[in-house]
């Protein structure tokens, strides 16, 4: 058995699948090596199908090319979707919780000036969405958080 036969056997690709999976788990699921694990998993079947059909040099180029192509395509096209769905690397905080909630203006928000709102018992510095004025006591909706200020819209 020559080295190329061993390298491009299904067992080799299985070992790579396990290695990439272990690296992904140790890196707290950064969703990078996962795609190489999936690619090497596909290569298990490709190497089994091409074992007796192609010459060693042809298999070498085909296997390496397919492995890299599959991994790169998965990395580019599926990683952003997976990161968005799984929200990897982003821990939800109490700031995220107030977006979309209703609040009461406790200090008037004037044009180009900050005011204050109260939401969940907390007081936040606020600005209006279109630099409009919102009087004290008015109800408003929190649109987003920008630094330490919230952007609101009068209801």
Of 42, 30, 91, 88, whose CA–CA distance to 66 is shortest?
42
Cα–Cα–Cα angle for 98, 99, 104, rounded to 5 degrees? 65
Average pLDDT of the residues of the chain: 87
Tell me the C-alpha distance between 11 and 106, whole Å.
68
What contacts 129, CB < 8 A, 6 or more positions away?
Answer: 143, 151, 152, 153
Q: Which of 86, 103, 129 is the last residue of a domain?
A: 86
Rounding to the nearest 10 degrees, give the CA dihedral for residues 131, 132, 136, 138.
-120
Report the pLDDT value the prediction gives residue 52, as an integer from 0 to 100: 75
Which range among 16-20, 33-37, 59-63 shows the weakest confidence by mean pLDDT? 59-63
Query: How many separate domains does the chain show?
Result: 2
Tell me the C-alpha distance between 4 and 63, whole Å.
11
Q: For 124, phi and psi rounded to 5 degrees?
A: -125, 145
Q: What is the mean pLDDT of residues 108-137?
A: 91
Q: Are residues 80 and 120 in the same domain?
A: no
Supply the range of the domain harboring residue 101: 94-154
Q: Are residues 82 and 99 in the same domain?
A: no
Q: Are residues 140 and 107 in the same domain?
A: yes
Q: Are residues 98 and 73 in the same domain?
A: no
Look at 8 and 45; give whichever has higher pLDDT: 45
Q: Which of 42, 57, 86 is the last residue of a domain?
A: 86
Q: How are beta strands 149-154 and 122-128 bridged, if at all?
A: parallel
Per cent of the chain over pLDDT 70 is 90
Provide the CATH number for the domain around residue 107: 2.40.50.140
Q: How are beta strands 139-146 and 149-154 bridged, if at all?
A: antiparallel
Tell me if residue 31 falls in helix, strand or coil: coil
Report the pLDDT value the prediction gives residue 2, as an integer from 0 to 100: 66
DSSP secondary structure code for residue 113 in this structure:
S
Q: Are residues 67 and 138 in the same domain?
A: no
Position 131 confidence tier, pLDDT thresholds 50, 70, 90: confident
Q: Are residues 62 and 121 in the same domain?
A: no
Q: What is the pLDDT of residues 71-104, one digit of tens each?
A: 999 999 998 888 888 765 556 666 778 888 999 9
Position 124 confidence tier, pLDDT thresholds 50, 70, 90: very high
Q: Are residues 72 and 137 in the same domain?
A: no
Q: What is the pLDDT of residues 22-60, one digit of tens each?
A: 999 998 778 889 999 999 999 999 888 887 787 777 777
Position 61 confidence tier, pLDDT thresholds 50, 70, 90: confident
């Amino acid at each position: 058995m020559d080295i190329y036969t061993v390298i491009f056997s299904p067992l080799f690709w299985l070992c790579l699948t396990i290695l990439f999976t272990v690296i992904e788990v140790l890196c707290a699921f950064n969703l990078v090596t996962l795609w190489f694990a999936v690619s090497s998993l596909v290569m298990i079947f490709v190497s089994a199908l091409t074992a007796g059909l192609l010459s060693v040099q042809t298999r070498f180029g085909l296997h390496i090319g397919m492995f890299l192509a599959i991994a790169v395509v998965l990395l580019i096209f599926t990683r952003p979707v997976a990161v968005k769905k799984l929200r990897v690397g982003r821990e939800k905080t109490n700031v995220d919780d107030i977006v979309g909630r209703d609040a009461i203006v406790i200090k008037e928000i004037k044009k180009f000036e900050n005011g204050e709102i109260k939401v969940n018992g907390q007081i936040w510095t606020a600005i209006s969405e279109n630099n409009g004025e919102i009087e004290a006591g008015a109800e408003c909706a929190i649109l987003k958080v920008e630094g330490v200020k919230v952007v609101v819209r009068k209801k």
